[in-house]
Amino acid sequence: MTLRRIGAAVALGLAAALTLSACSGGGQDLSKQWEEASDKGYISGDGTSASFPEGERTDPVQFTGEVEDGSTLSSADILGKVTVVNFWYAGCAPCRAEAPDLVSAYDEFAGEHVAFLGINTRDQVAQAQQFAEEFGIEYPSIMDVAGGRSVQRAFAGQVPLNAVPTTLILDTEGRVAHRVLGQLAGASQLPTLIRETLAETGVEVPRKADAADGANESAE
């Protein structure tokens, strides 16, 4: 075999190996993906959303983690509420882009029936606090960074999360009702999903515009 043919055979072998390597990661769970993405930033999602009918949802997700102020928060603390769970970190460009939409939804819904929780996958506490201050985020975030990732692992066993940011809406039992992979599509997407989940419990939260109209009528 000539040197030229040997070189061609080696090149083909390398190409095949790379192809197999690229395809082999498709079935990895969330925690494995986050670990492997630690050097390349975030695993990008395309904004695809999925909704799960009540009868087809997985078991309630159970988790415990430490938030920015050092206190502990668990799934038991939000049980009974529709809960928005957002996976993020400060250097993630889509996370920054969607932050105002999360804050807007929090301002509209947070209270007796709806809770919000961030899951920070990468930062130190100071970075997370700076991000919260910059965007006016008032809800807590669990610091679920490398070395533990227990919260990410808990969710990975329930739904195939594969993007940062990812936003989940949990029903009142702690089951995943809706999932958005990647950046939220716009300001209206999250409120729509929250309302759909609340409707399962018979709770209706007035829309901002409706509430403002009612206040104006009362004033008159």
Query: pTM of the predicted model, to two decimals?
Result: 0.76
* For residues 108-135, average pLDDT: 96
52-56, 162-166, 200-204, 205-209 — which one is most confidently predicted on average?
52-56
Listed in sequence order, the residues at least 6 apart from 62 whose beta carbon sits closer than 8 Å to its beta carbon are 74, 75, 154, 174
Q: Which two tokens stand for residue 55?
A: 């009868």
For residue 220, the model assigns a pLDDT of 52
- Provide mean pLDDT across the span 85-91: 95
Per-residue model confidence (pLDDT) at position 28 = 41
| 16 vs 63 pLDDT, higher one | 63
| Per-residue pLDDT, 9 | 44
Q: What is the mean pLDDT of residues 19-29?
A: 32
Q: Residues 143, 125: contact at Cβ < 8 Å?
A: yes
- pLDDT, average across residues 37-43: 43
Is the confidence at residue 55, as pLDDT, over 80? yes
Q: Give the pLDDT mean for 201-208.
A: 81
166-170 sheet: strands from edge to edge:
49-51, 176-181, 166-170, 82-88, 114-120, 141-143
How high is the pLDDT of residue 142? 97
Handedness of CA 131, 86, 161, 186 (dihedral sign): negative
- DSSP letter at 67 equals B
pLDDT digits (tens, 9 = 90+) for 147-180: 778 999 999 877 655 568 999 999 999 999 999 9
